Amino acid sequence: MINRNKSKRNWYIVGVVTMLLGGIWLFFHFTYFFNPLTFKKDDVTYLPWSWYENPLTIEYMVLEDEGWQGKIVDDGSEVKFVIDQLKSSPVIQDADREEYQTSDNIIRLIVLRRGDDAILLEVRQEWEGNVFYFTHNRVFVKVTEELEMLFEERFSQVEKLH
């Protein structure tokens, strides 16, 4: 009889611990974009993991004669795709901004924002092609082909809006 009560108590403890851990996991899963246990800082995600609170949005902006024009995308899968692709884009060592300047006055900006409008990342381009730079640390990257296609599509949508 004593073993049966002890066994029930053990299962009760296991159930409570499982529910507690599940609740903690759900909280982090729905509150934050990244898992704090697997998060790693790099050139793209350079802030602490807790800064990346859901929902995250991406704003695609183009500087035109009338000023900045933009399009906001709040699709979590697109945000994840952009972050993942930026992380896998090769860094251009010893890049100089003047090296990529053209006579065209093309200025494009991709802004990753948190729900409270805090800016988490700015990626800028002032020339044609697939080279962008991070404004927080001036690291130049050659974006992946998939990301370049997405950027072109989004920037053309912005230009058609205005």
Q: Which of 125, 120, 133 is nearest to 155 (CA)?
A: 125
What pLDDT score was predicted for residue 72?
94
- What is 2-46 written as a DSSP string? HHHHHHHHHHHHHHHHHHHHHHHHHHHHHHBSS-TTT----SSS-
What pLDDT score was predicted for residue 148?
92
Mean per-residue pLDDT, 4-33: 86
Angstrom distance (rounded) from CA 154 to CA 136: 23
pTM for the full model? 0.82
What pLDDT score was predicted for residue 159?
83
Of all residues in the chain, the percent with pLDDT exceeding 90 is 51
**Please, which contacts does 66-69 make with residues 24 or more away whose CB atoms are closer than 8 Å?**
66/162, 68/109, 69/158, 69/159, 69/161, 69/162
* 6-10, 55-59, 67-71, 121-125: least confidently modelled range: 6-10
Angstrom distance (rounded) from CA 102 to CA 122: 21
Angstrom distance (rounded) from CA 114 to CA 45: 13
What pLDDT score was predicted for residue 96?
61
Angstrom distance (rounded) from CA 80 to CA 34: 10
pLDDT(103) > 60: no
pLDDT band at 113 (very low <50, low <70, confident <90, very high): very high
Condensed to tens digits (0 to 9), the pLDDT of residues 29-49 reads 888 999 998 999 999 999 999
Within 10 A of 9 (CB to CB), how many other CB atoms are there?
10
* 39-43, 56-60, 138-142, 149-153: least confidently modelled range: 138-142
Of all residues in the chain, the percent with pLDDT exceeding 70 is 90
What pLDDT score was predicted for residue 30?
86
